[in-house]
A and B are shown apart, each in its own frame.
Chain A
C-alpha cells in the first residue's frame, strides 16, 4: 500500500494558496444570504400539527434564503412563560417567540411594534375580534400577531344523548351544522336547569373550580354574562356591584350541581371527565373530543361543540388566543415580519386548521368558515359552530376589560373561581367581596 506524505513546504504552500483564493474570490450569494432566524413555537399537542409549522417555515425560508431554526416549546408547566421571562431579562433569545394571551402586554416594552404586519393582514383576512385587540394592542401599537396554532374557544362540548335524555335539550337542533344557531332559549337559566337535571341523572357537568385556565375561563364568561367586572377598563375597582353579586349567586347555585372534587380540577380533569363518559358537558376546545375519537369512539360520536348560554348582559364565550411576538432586541426583525405575513396568509391558516383537526382558531373574521370545521366528525358537523361562524357570541377573556397588566393577575390568581368557591363554602357575600377587593388592590402595583 503506497502512502503519499505531505511535506511541511507543501502544507505551507497549499495553505497560503487557499487563503489567497478565499480573500480574492468575488462575493457569491449563498443559500442563506438573508441571514438567520430563530423561532420559538408552542409545541402543539395534536400529533403531527408541528409539522405544518415546520413545512410552512421551510417553504418561506427557501424562498427568502434565510437560515431558520425552530424550537418547539411545551406549554406544560409554563415552559413558554419561563422562556419569555428569561429572554426578556437576558435581552437575547429567539427572534420570534409564540406567547400565550397575556404575554404581549407583560413584555410590551421588549416587543417590536407590528402595525406594518397587522394592517395588511387585517385587510387580507378580515377584522380581528375585540379580545385580540385587547390583548395584542397597546396605545394603537400592535405588540404581536395573533397566531392560529393554539388559539381556541372554550365553549361547551355537550353529550348529545345525555343532554337530550336528562335535560330535554337537543344540542344539534339548537346549533345545527351548516346553518345559524337557534339558541334564543339557551340562557344561563336553561344551563343551570340542565346542570341540575344531568347531575340528578348521574352525569354532572364537568366544570372545574380550580386555579388553572379552564376553570378561570368559564368563570370569566359567566361573570361577563352578568356584566360583572372586578376592575373596569379605567382601572377602578368595581367588586362591590350588583352584577358581581348576581354572578356569585348564580355560581353558588351551579356549584351545587358540579362534581364535589371540582375545586381540585386542572385543565386535564374536564377532558378526562368527558372522555370517560361520566359527564354530560364540559367547557373546552375540541381537544377532549379529539382524544375521545381515538380512545372512546362511542363517546366521541355523541359530542357536539356549540355556543355558550346567554346571560342578562349578553352571550360570552371564553377565547384564548396565542400570539407571535418579535423581540425588539431580535437580530433579524425584517425577516421575522416577512415570516409572520407568510404564516398568517389564508393558505397557511387553512393548513394550520386542517392539521390540527379544527382545534386551531384564526382570529380573523373571514377565516371562520373553513371546510375542516364543516367536515370533521363523527358526528359530522360536530365542530361547525366551534369557530363562532355567525358571531352570535362575544369572544372574551376572563378579567377583561381591566387594564391587561391588572387583568393578568386577576386571571392567574384565579380570583373569580376563588370568589365563587369561598361564597359557596359558606362565607357571606360581603366577606367574599371584601376579600376580592383586597386582592384587586394588591394587583394595582405598577
Chain B
C-alpha cells in the first residue's frame, strides 16, 4: 500500500512536471512567436508552396497531361528558338529596369533627403503615387499614351516635327516602352528604401569626412554607399525577382509583340499554357525563372552575409 502511495506521488509529480514544461514551452517567446506567425505560414504553404510543387509536377507531364515525361518538356524547350529569345529578353528587361530603378531611386532619394521636414513628407507622398496605384490600372493609362493611333506622346511630339514613333509596333521602341513603364512603377520602391537607409547614416561620419576635406563625390563614395550597401543589395535582389516575374505591364502594353520581342517568362508561359492549352509546357517556362533567380539570390545574399560577418 505504501508503495502504491509512493508511486501515485511519483505519477503526480511527473504530471505536474509535464504540465509545467508545457506551460513553460507555451510561455516561451519563441513559441508565442511561432503561433502568431502560424496563420501566415499556413497561408504561404497553401498559396505559395503547394502551387510551386504542383507546377513542378505539371511540368513533368505530357501536353494532354496523361503521361509522365520527366524532363522531356525542358529538353523540348531548349530546342525552341522563341524560348531562348524569351530568356534573353527577360534578362534585358529585368537588368535594365532594375539598374534604372536603382539609379533613379538613389538620385531622387538624395533630393528628397535634402528637403526640410514638412515639405519632405509631401514630396515623399507624391513620389510614392506610381507605386501605390495598381499596375494593371496605371499601365492602361500608359497604353493610351502609347496608343498606336492616338498616342498623346506622338501628338505632343508632332508640334516639334518629330514622329510619329511606333511606340509598341517596333522592337526597339516596344522594349523601351515596357522598360520605361516598369521603371516608372518600381523606382518609388527604391526611393523609399534608399531614403530610409540615408536617414540611418550617422551625421558624424559626414562631419568627419568634411573635416578630412572630402568633397561631395567622396562623401557619397566613401560614406553613403558603403553604409547603404546591404540595403542596395537586398532591394536589388527583391526588385530583380519581382521584375523578372513581371506579367501585367507586358501583357497590357504589347501582349509580347511585335514578333514576340517583348515576351517575358510569365507572359510567354501564359500564352503557351493557357491560350495554347499546353499547361505542362507553360509550367516549364515559368519554372525556368527559378534557377536564374536562385543564382542571383546566392550571389547577392552571400555578399550581404559576408559583410554582416565582417561587421
List residues of chain A with CB under 8 Å of any chain B CB: 77-78, 81-82, 85, 89, 102-103, 106, 109, 209-212, 259-266, 269, 272-273, 276, 278, 405, 408-409, 412-414, 418, 421-422, 435, 438-439, 442, 445-446
Contact = CB atoms under 8 A, between A and B. Distances in A.
Contact of B274 (A78, A262, A278): A78
B255 interface: yes
Interface string B47-75: 00000000000000011100000000000
B81 A435 contact: yes
A446 B167 CA distance: 38
B63 A264 contact: no
Given A85-B274, A418-B260, A446-B62, A261 B81 contact: no
Residue among A210, A418, A422, A445 with the most chain B CB within 10 A? A445
A102 B277 CA distance: 9
A37 B156 CA distance: 55
A263 B257 contact: yes
B257 to A, nearest CB: 5
Contacts of B279: 85, 89
Interface of B: 62-64, 76, 80-82, 147-150, 164, 166-170, 174, 251, 254-260, 270-271, 274-279, 281
A82 B271 CA distance: 11
A439 B79 CA distance: 11
Contact of A438 (B64, B81, B254): B81
Given A264-B257, A442-B80, 16 more contacts: A81-B274, A81-B275, A82-B274, A106-B277, A210-B258, A260-B166, A261-B149, A261-B168, A269-B149, A273-B149, A408-B276, A408-B277, A409-B278, A418-B260, A421-B258, A438-B81
A19 to B, nearest CB: 38
Contacts of B169: 260-264
Contacts of B256: 211
A267 to B, nearest CB: 10
Nearest to B280: A445
Contacts of A412: 271, 275-276
Given A260-B169, A261-B149, A413 B276 contact: yes
Contact of A278 (B149, B174, B271, B281): B149
A276 B80 CA distance: 41
Contacts of A106: 277
Nearest to A209: B258
What 9 A-B pairs come out closest when comparing CB atoms? A264-B168, A264-B169, A261-B148, A106-B277, A263-B258, A261-B169, A412-B275, A263-B169, A409-B276
B142 to A, nearest CB: 13
Residue among B80, B82, B148, B256 with the most chain A CB within 10 A? B148
B103 to A, nearest CB: 28
B251 A212 contact: no
Contacts of B168: 261, 264
Contacts of A103: 277
A264 B62 contact: no
A106 B63 CA distance: 11
A89 B149 CA distance: 40
A77 B255 CA distance: 10
A254 to B, nearest CB: 16
Contacts of A413: 271, 276
B76 A445 contact: yes
A446 B63 contact: yes
15 contacts: A81-B274, A260-B169, A262-B169, A263-B169, A264-B168, A264-B254, A266-B255, A269-B147, A272-B150, A412-B275, A412-B276, A418-B260, A435-B81, A439-B82, A445-B63
Contacts of B149: 259, 261, 269, 272-273, 276, 278
B259 A421 contact: yes
Contacts of B255: 210-212, 266
B278 A445 contact: yes
Contacts of B259: 263, 418, 421-422
Contact of B275 (A78, A210, A259, A273): A78
